[in-house]
Structure 1
Amino acid sequence: MKKKVMSALALSGLLASSASAASVDAFGHIGTAYNFGLKNEVSTAEGGKKPWFGGATARAGVEIGFGAVSIGVGATGGLPYAISPSSSVFGNYVRNGYFTKPSNVEWYNWISDAYLRADSSLFSFIGGRYNLGEFFDGKDGLNPNGVDWVSGQHEGLSFILDTRYFAWWGTYSYEMMNYGAENPGRFGNDLMGFNQYYKTGHYLSTGFDIRIKDILYIDPFATYVVDSNLLQLGGKLDLRLGRGTFKSTTTLRGMYQAYTKGYSQSTYLGWIDQEFLVSNLVKFGGGFYSVGKNHGIHRSSDKARFYGNTFGSQVDYFAHGVNSWYGFIGLTDKYFSFDFLYAGGDYQEISAIANVNLYKDRFVEFGLGGGWVRSNHHDQAVAFTKLSF
C-alpha cells in the first residue's frame, strides 16, 4: 500500500511538473464581411436585382507545447446571412456554393485543427489537420518562402529542413477546407465562404528556399496532384535592396503546368512584381503577368495583390490566355492600412480597401474596414470586421 501511495505521489509530481512546463497558446479568428452589389447582376428572369450577401466565419483552438513538441486542437464554422435576392438561383448558390450548408457538414469536419508538431533549430514537422499557411509563413505571415500556391486548412503533413543557407520544404495534403478566397495578405480574405474538408486528389509539393545574404531569395518548387495527373514546375526569385528609409523588392515568378495523362496541352505563367517601400509606411509599384492560352493556373491559393475574388465574386485572374498589368499604392501602419490597385488588360480591376486596427498587441488584433472593388463586370462595396488571436 505504501509503495502504491509513493508511486501515486511521484506520478502526481511528474504530471504537475509537466503541466507547469507546458505552454498554452490560443489561435483563431471570428469575423464577418458584407458584399453590397452595385450592379444589377442577378438575371432578369430573377428580378434583375443587385446581389447582396454577408458571410461570417470563426475558428478557435489551442496549442499546448511541451518543449519541442506541441499538440493543437480547434473547431471552425461559417454561415451566410442577409442574402438578397434570397429565394433565387443566386441565393441557393451562396448557401450551397460559397458555403457548405450546416446540415451537410459531417460532424468531424467542424474540427479544423487536430495536429502534432515538432520543432528544432534545424527541422520542423507538422501532421494532422492544421493551417498550412501559418506553418510556412509564420503567424505574422512574414517568413520568406516559396510556398505561394497553397495555404489554408489542410489534412496531411508538412516539413521544413532549415540550414544556414537554404531550406528544404515539402507538403502532402489529403483533404483541405477553405474560408472563401484564400489569398493571404488581402483584408477580409477568410470571411466570405466556408467549405468543409474535401479531398484534394493527393496533393504533393516540395521545393527549396535559397537565401543569399538576405538580399536574393531563389525558390524553385515542384507540385504533383496524383488524382488529376497535374504537374507544376516553377519558382520565384526575390531581390530585396535597400535598408532604412527606402526599400525595393523585385519578384519574378514562373511556372510550367501540364497533365501527365489525358490533356496533351500545357500552359505557363510569367509574372513580375515590383514594390517600393518608403519609411516602412508608403508602398507603391506595379507588375505584369501572362498566362498561356491552353489552360488556367491550378491553385488553391495565391499571393496576388488583387481583391477581385476576396469578397465573393469568384473571379479567376489567372484564367487561360490572360495578359494583364497593374499598378498599386498603399499605406502600411500598425493601426491603419490602405490598398489601392488599378489593373488593365484581359483582367481589369479597380480596388480601394482600408483597414483600421482598433486594438492590437502581441496576442490579439481587432479591426474593421471596407471599400470598393470593381473587377471585370462585377462592382461591389464591401465592409468587414475581424478579431484575430
Structure 2
Amino acid sequence: MNKFYSTLAAIAVLTSGNILAQDATALTNSLDATSAFDCSYDVKDADNTILLNGSSATQIFTACTDGKLLEVSLDIKGLNDRGTYTVEVRSMNGEILNLASFKKEQVLDGKVVLPMETHVKSGARYILNVTAETGYDLSLRSKQGPMGTLTIDGTPYRGQLAGQFGFKTVNATTLANDEGRVAYGGDDSITPLNKSANGLCNTEVYNHTGRIVSTGESIVQTFTACSNGFLSQTSVQIQHIDADFVGRLFIKDPHNTVLLSQEVTARNVRDGVLVVPMNIKVREGFTYKIGVKSIYETRLAVQANNKPADALGTCTFNGTELETNLCFSALVRENQNDDDPSTFIESTLKVIAFPNPFENELGIRIDGIEEGKVIVQLIDFTGNVLRADLINIDPDNKVITFNTDDIDEVGFYSLRVVHGDKVTHTTVIKH
C-alpha cells in the first residue's frame, strides 16, 4: 500500500532523515483511488514469535476512522495442517462484534487475510482475540515493544501482533450500534453493600446489559469485601452454557494467591446462576478476585453490566481489562467477635480439596488455624499412605499441592490432616 505522510512527517524526514515508513507500528492514510482502505494500522518488522496451542492471544487496537474495519491480516510463521483457528473482534465490553476462522490453505506468503465488515468509531478501542484449539499449534509473528495492549492467556506480553487492520470511512448516520448492547431495562442495577441484620453482607452487580463469551479464556472480576468475615458464597449470572461444559471457578486474594479453585459443570447452574459455596476469610476493604474459565474448549457466556455507575471493580477477558463488570455476587458472613481480623475465631479445622474429583494434581487448603505445623497425608482405603508432607501454616501459606500423576486407580481416597490433637478426614475422588 502506498503511504501518505503528513506535513509534519515530511519535515521530520527532511530534517532528521527519520523515514517513518520504516517504523514498526504506523497509522497510515491511503489517499489514492486504488486503495481499499481510507486508513490502516500496521505492525511491521516482526522480531518475535508467539506459539498458541489451546490458548489465546488478545490484542487491543484503536480505530482510525468512523466506519468499518474491513479487513484484518496476521503474519503467520507456522500452523498445523488440520487446525482451524478462530479470530474474534470484540468491543471493550467483551461483546463479540465479528467472528472469522482460517486454515492453513488460506495462509499465503506467511499472511492470512480475513474480511471483517465490523462497524467502528474513530478513536474507540477494540479487541482482537486469536485462539488455537488444544493439539493444534499456531505460531504468530509479533513485534517487541511496550506492554499494555497484548496478553497471552491472561499474561501481559511485551509487544504487539504483527499484521494490519484496514478501515473504511462510512457516514456516521449509517452506522449500526457497534457495542452490541441491549436495553438497560430497569434501574435495579446493583446492591453494592447490602448488609442485613442476620450478619450477612452482599456485594452484587445484578442488572445485565450484555454478555461475555468464552471458550477457554478467563473472565475475572475484582470486588471489595464488604465486611470482616468469611466469604460464604459467590455466584455468577450465566447467559449460556454448553450441556457438556466443564470449567473452573477460582478466588484470589490481594496478593494474587489462589484461595479456592473448584471444578464446575453445567449441573452447577440453576435458573441461570452458577452458585459456589465456600468458606474463605476476607477483610473489609481488601480487593479480591472471582474468576471463571472454561476448559476442554466448551462454551460459556456470562452476563455483564457496562453502566459505569454500577461498576464495583474491574473485569478482564484473557487478561485484557474491559469497560464492563461481570454480573456476580459475593456473600460475606460477618465476624461477630470483633472488627479486627486478627481476632477471628474459627472453631474447627477446615480442609478444602481442589479439584475434587482430581486428576494429575490435588490441592489442599487448610483453614481454621492461624499458624502452626500441620501434617497432610493422602491415603487409599486400604490404609496405604500415598503422599505425606508437613506445612507450616501462616496467613500467607495455607495451601499444599500433591502431584498425583502416578495414581492410576480411579476411586475414593482420604485426606488426613493432623494438627496437634486434632485430626480431620476428607474424602476425595480420583477422576
**Same fold, TM exceeding 0.5?**
no
TM-score by length of 1: 0.28
TM-score by length of 2: 0.26
Task: Name the structure where helix makes up a greater proportion of residues.
Answer: 1
Largest Rg, 1 or 2: 2
